[in-house]
Chain A
Amino acid sequence: MQDGLKVLARLFGVLARITLYISGTCLILMTAVVAAQVFMRYVIGSSIVWSEPLAVQFMGWFILLGAAVGTREGYHLSFDVLLMFLPQGVVRFLHSVSDLVVGAFGAGMFWFGLELARRTWSSKMPTLGLPDGTNFLPLVLGGLLVVLFSGERLLRRAAGMQTARFGEDMVED
């Protein structure tokens, strides 16, 4: 089982890497948009009217994509106090329960994000002109990735492979 899973894990590793790079690019673009706004306002003396909503768009993307990768790499804050006193098997079971509900939440992000996007698509954002629904697209894609990465964690744990938790480094297979 581990061999097949390792191929899958490598694929997910590549997916996570790409997602993280897109996320980083969005952070850089957000910085550039706001820097351009500062430059225009203070050096040129006129304002870019759409810089603020555009920067907020980039923020949504890098947070939710970055957060999805966080479920895989285990860098979200978590709290392991109770688990110290429990036997290993129970801890593994509870961690799986945790991954399962995180995956369910990811499914909610995906499904209801889609619903939110659909229901708000007909109105347009002021000055930027994009449909309001685009605000929710990071939620949709981020949610989908949370589902995939949580599923991978469940499989990895079942196969006895490492699932990184807060404060640990992810070991790529």
Chain B
Amino acid sequence: MELYILFGTFVFLLLIGTPVAFCLGISSFATVLYMGLPPLVVFQRLNSGISVFALMAIPFFIYAGDLMVRGDIARRLVALAGALVGHLRGGLGQVNILASVMFGGISGSAAADASAVGGIMVPQMKAKGYAADYAVNITVTSSIIAIMLPPSHNMIIYSISAGGRLSIADLFTAGIIPGFMLAIALMIVAWFVARERGYPTEPFPGMRMIGALLVSAIPGLILIGIIFGGVRSGVFTASESSNIAVIYALLVTVFVYRSLPWKEFVAATLGAVRTTAMVLLVIGCAAAFGWLLAYFKVPTSIVAFMQTVSDNPILILLMINIALLLLGTFMDMAPLIVIVTPIFLPIAQAFGVDPVHFGVIMVLNLGIGLCTPPVGAVLFVGCAVGRIPIWEAVRTIWPFYFASLVVLLLVTYIPALSLWLPSLFK
């Protein structure tokens, strides 16, 4: 009965348009009241859920993203991407994806990517005659690239949830090849959809123009080097690198580009507050919701069920993937990682799956979950940027889901895609 109240209230509130964070919080509150447990626990979980030092990477990367957007770094990266791939079929769609690859090397958050790259690309795409749903679909799914490429705070959260033993540098490195595979898969789909819908291409600007744009984007590209180099060499801890990203973005925009007037700085700060408060309130409320799931032993029951079904590693990984996809549609990424890692990881390891490889599978899988309704933070950000209702985006997003799922299957069953690159640094 308790579980019916928890899920029933959650779904009802979601349907009547209550903000997702509050759907999670209120359904937990209602369940606890029904059970006669002290309601204190819901608010304690909410507070503890957001009082985690490792989570600070999220506001920092979002803040850095906002500063880069307001202070021109992001625009220059997008311009460079535009010159490189704009002439392909579905031009600005391809640019959107490549820009996510570049921006993803700076930002660890899919939501930040969707708002930063999407914020620049979607209006341009609409102006050039691309349908809003196409622009949003690409913006949303290509944002997963940002959490696959370093830096990725979800990899950090996974490392901590796995007991703090896994090297964050290894996890960062392991995500690189899958991240690029995803980019290529999405570019192929974008190409086909664009051909079907007859979208235009941009003229090729010539090598000289590319050279000039490359020079102007160098400070942004250096930031990619600082973040990855710093963490890979282990000089900076992952949480420190996100802070350095903010300071660096501030210094570059103020002193190199001289493109950040006070007004824009205030706007970037308030923008970061809005986005971060929204994202982290979801995480806090999901922590309360997740606590109740753990209290009712829901994850443990899922695992017990899976173990009775099969002992074949290929099937087990498939089932874990399906379970994660299902959970990912209903919950947000960070708390899910925290909750399911201690449960799924030992099973995966018992079947000989490397924990770094499993981390890549999980982050990619839950990344796809960020783009699916009903709880898909990135989907919401993308729709907000594109100013279309969620159902309109979801109606045509299937080819992009399909491409992501194909990459997920490849990453799941070919461990070398994740493990080969980190092995080079040993």
Contact = CB atoms under 8 A, between A and B. Distances in A.
B103 interface: no
Contact of B274 (A70, A83, A108): A70
A113 B50 CA distance: 14
B60 to A, nearest CB: 7
Contacts of B240: 34, 37-38
Contact of B56 (A30, A81, A101, A166): A30
- Interface class of chain A by DSSP: helix
Nearest to B281: A67
A124 B39 CA distance: 24
Contacts of B25: 105
Interface residues of B, number: 61
Interface residues of A, number: 60
A101 B269 CA distance: 30
Interface string A16-28: 0000110110011
Contacts of B243: 31, 34-35, 38
Interface in B278-303: 278, 280-282, 284
A131 interface: no
A104 to B, nearest CB: 7
Interface in B230-282: 235-236, 239-240, 243-244, 246-247, 266, 269-270, 272-274, 276-278, 280-282
Contacts of B167: none
Interface string A64-92: 11110111010111111111100000000
A94 B15 CA distance: 10
Given A30-B59, A108-B29, A79 B47 contact: no
Instruction: With a 10 A CB-CB cut-off, give which of A73, A76, A113, A135 has the most chain B CB atoms.
Output: A76
Nearest to A95: B17
8 contacts: A27-B273, A62-B59, A64-B277, A66-B274, A79-B20, A81-B391, A98-B13, A116-B43
A76 B21 contact: yes
B56 A139 contact: no
Contact of B277 (A70, A80, A98): A70
Interface of A: 20-21, 23-24, 27-28, 30-31, 34-35, 37-38, 42, 52, 55-56, 59-60, 62-67, 69-71, 73, 75-84, 94-95, 97-98, 101-102, 104-105, 108-109, 112-113, 115-116, 119, 135-136, 138-139, 165-167
